[in-house]
């Protein structure tokens, strides 16, 4: 799980792994690791601390990743625009691994994702999902898609 701060990485992970959602925002320090079975595949989810202008992503946490979930906040376009630079950091550390994209907070009234952004990600071969950790929208599909791409 890679993305800027407060985009919903932890919320998506917790919704998928434990089927819970909390409105409380707790900053991830370093990395939080969870595991879950998807079909016959054990998935270990590394929820990497979010990136902001003062603290870039710690790319060392990405070494050995078999796939990446990029998460952007659909109410903050800058977090979606940032995915290109995050990809450059990621590919330098792990190579060209399977990628899926979660455009999170789809349930929010300030949703502002452009079709051009979705097309750009799709053209890279990335599966794109409008997600809501709060409502559970497309959370399971997001992770299942990544597992399918990795197998």
The predicted model scores a pTM of 0.87
Per-residue pLDDT at 31 exceeds 90: no
State the pLDDT at residue 11.
Answer: 94
Domain ranges of the chain: 2-150
Higher pLDDT, residue 29 or 5: 5
Per-residue pLDDT at 109 exceeds 70: yes
Report how far apart, in Å, the C-alpha atoms of 122 and of each of 41, 45, 58, 126 are: 25, 23, 26, 5
Report how far apart, in Å, the C-alpha atoms of 89 and of each of 51, 100, 125, 133, 147 are: 12, 16, 18, 26, 22
* Residue 38, strand partner residues: 41
CATH class of 2-150: alpha beta
pLDDT, tens digit (0-9, with 9 covering 90-100), for 113-137: 999 989 999 999 999 999 999 999 9
């Amino acid at each position: 799980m890679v993305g800027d701060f407060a985009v919903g990485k932890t919320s998506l992970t917790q919704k998928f792994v434990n089927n819970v959602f909390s409105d409380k925002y707790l900053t991830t320090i370093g990395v939080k690791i969870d595991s879950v079975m998807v079909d016959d595949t054990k998935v270990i989810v590394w929820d990497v601390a979010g990136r902001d202008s003062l603290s870039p992503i710690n790319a060392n946490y990405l070494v050995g990743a078999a796939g990446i979930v990029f998460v952007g906040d659909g109410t903050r376009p800058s977090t979606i625009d940032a995915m290109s630079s995050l990809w450059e950091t990621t590919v330098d550390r792990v190579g060209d691994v399977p990628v899926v994209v979660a455009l999170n907070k789809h349930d929010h009234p300030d949703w502002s994702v452009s079709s051009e952004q979705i097309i750009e990600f799709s053209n890279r071969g990335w599966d794109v999902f409008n997600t809501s950790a709060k409502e559970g929208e497309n959370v399971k599909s997001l992770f299942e898609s990544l597992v399918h791409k990795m197998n």
